[in-house]
Structure 1
Amino acid sequence: MIPQIIQLPKIVDPRGNLSFFESPKQLPFEIARTYWIYDVPGGETRGSHAFKEQQEFIVALSGSFDIVLHDGTQEIKFPLNRSYYGLYVPKMYWRKLENFSTNALALIVSDRHFDDQDYIRDFEEFKQFRNGQ
């Protein structure tokens, strides 16, 4: 699979809009873990790693940030700034989150529980692993 923006349902209401996702209706995997990133100081980058097996779906619930993905040969940037769409990130993509706006809130759901052995934290090692497959 390839990374892709997934547009979520948006129920418009004068009292406030509502969006949601359900697996496997909107997501290509069953959710095993949910976490969020917030209070990121200006100029900081989060992530900077890849997963051997884990898949993720990332939504900017509030504010904005960019997700930069690298497949071992090329890089692509996805700006997230709406709470009714998110980015599906398959396994084996180097990812980093950057350019956080004030009060940005990143929601991440994944198909696996935390496993430190699933992480690749060195970019050169990632490129060798990815291009050797």
Structure 2
Amino acid sequence: MVARTTDTPVGRVKPCRLIGLEQHHDERGSLSIVESEWTTGFPIRRIYYLHNTRTGTARGAHAHRALEQLFVAAHGSFTVKVDDGHRQRAYRLDDPGTGLYVGPMVWRDITDFSDDSVCLVLASEHYDETDYYRDYAAFLEDVRRQP
């Protein structure tokens, strides 16, 4: 996993950050553990994953008003670009033992999927369309009004 662009955290409400997952390794393989609240800092109410993405595919292209998420490269790799309206940063996720926390009021774009990637996403809330910003200009307008 590679963080680029700036060392200043992105996310004015709750900063984005890499989280090392609890790991257990032996001759049988590896086990990565995520526990609601303990690992993520939020209750997990929804889990989904992106897979079978084609080369050149981009996902995300939105922000959330309140939702918190943990992104994990369960298999393969992809890049998550985050933007809080003031700062941007890109994270290359390629290790199933590390997750990327993305909090509220952060625009996210997911790109550069490897052919075999599985992007696992753990979310703090059930799906709610009213929580989404799908228009970047509207997102910027609201985020820049905040102190």
Q: State yes or no: 1:123 paired with 2:116.
A: no
1:45 aligns with: 58
- Structure 2: where are the runs of 5+ without partners? 1-13
- For residues 52-83 of structure 1, the C-alpha deviation after alignment (integer angstroms, 9 at most, x for no partner) is 01110010000000000001022100110000
CA distance in 2, matches of 1:131, 1:32: 29
Partner of residue 7 from structure 1, selected from 1, 4, 20: 20
1:32 aligns with: 45
Q: What is the count of residue pairs matched by the alignment?
A: 133
- Structure 1: where are the runs of 5+ without partners? none
1:1-133 matched pairs, under 5 angstroms: 1-133=14-146
Q: TM-score, normalised by structure 1?
A: 0.98
CA distance in 1, matches of 2:82, 2:71: 12
CA distance in 2, matches of 1:119, 1:19: 30
- For residues 7-42 of structure 1, the C-alpha deviation after alignment (integer angstroms, 9 at most, x for no partner) is 001101111111111011111100010000011110
Q: Which residue identity is paired with 1:50?
A: A
CA distance in 2, matches of 1:74, 1:11: 35
Large movers: runs of 4+ above 4 Å: none
Query: Identity over aligned residues, as a percent?
Result: 33
